[in-house]
Amino acid sequence: MYTLEELKKYCINCKKCNLCNGRTNVVFGDGNGNADIMFIGEGPGYNEDKQGVPFVGAAGKLLDKMLNAIGLKRSDIYIANIVKCRPPNNRNPLEEESKQCIEYLRWQVKIINPKIIVCLGAVSARHIISPDFRITKQRGQWIKKGRFHIMPTYHPAALLRDANKKKYAWEDFKAIKEMYEDLKS
């Protein structure tokens, strides 16, 4: 089994899909490699590409606030994306790109072995839970897959676009906190 560092070294030289052409940095992942909880987003945006760190732009700042509100810090969690290089103009990743890149995410999940996985947004939920997942209709319900408790919720960028969604995301974060505490004991 690789370590997270070994996997990262391999991944930052990756040219498996066309997204390698436009990237400044591969955004491998960030946080605690022993975390009980992993958050999975979609793909790097402008700031993430520049810095090589996931969720550092506006959506990331909101995510940090929501984490803090349930007593978690970035150093308590691990965070990564479905694709690790920025899609041009922040478009959704193409199927071929996700298919190539998700191998790295699978390894990250195997190595970190979290108890909880939070899918941030539809692209994440469709790749982790099921291809026809509808985030508006189906968010907020725990899904058990193997040994993982999976919670699909809105992407923080969606909350920035539509503040009406925030109350639902807050319910989901409270459920996440509850499960996190339950699984600790």
User: Is 78 a residue that touches ligand URA (CB under 6 A)?
Assistant: no
Q: Which of residues 45-74 bind ligand URA (CB under 6 A)?
A: 45, 48, 54-55, 59-60
Select the residue interacting with ligand SF4 from 101, 129, 150, 157 (CB under 6 A).
101
85 binds ligand SF4 (CB under 6 A): yes
Closer of 60 and 152 to ligand URA (Cβ): 60
Which range of residues in 69-77, 78-86, 141-149, 157-165 is near ligand SF4 by CB under 6 A?
78-86
Parallel, antiparallel or unpaired: strands 116-120 and 78-81: unpaired
Identity of the residue, 15 or 161, whose beta carbon is nearer to ligand SF4 in the bound complex: 15
Stretch that binds ligand SF4, among 10-18, 45-53, 67-75, 166-174 (CB under 6 A): 10-18
CB of 185 vs ligand URA, minimal distance in Å: 31
**Does residue 116 contact residue 183 with C-beta atoms inside 8 Å?**
yes
Least CB distance to ligand SF4 at residue 101 (A): 3
Phi first, then psi: give them for residue 17, nearest 5 degrees: -135, 170
Question: What is the phi-psi region of residue 8: left when phi exceeds 0, alpha when psi lies from -120 to 50, beta otherwise?
Answer: alpha
Please say which residue, 27 or 62, places its beta carbon nearer to ligand SF4: 27
Residue of 109, 125, 136, 116 whose CA lies nearest to 177: 116
Binding site for ligand URA (CB under 6 A): 41-45, 48, 54-55, 59-60, 81, 157
Chain contacts with ligand SF4 (rule: CB under 6 A): 11, 14-17, 19-20, 26, 83-85, 97, 100-101
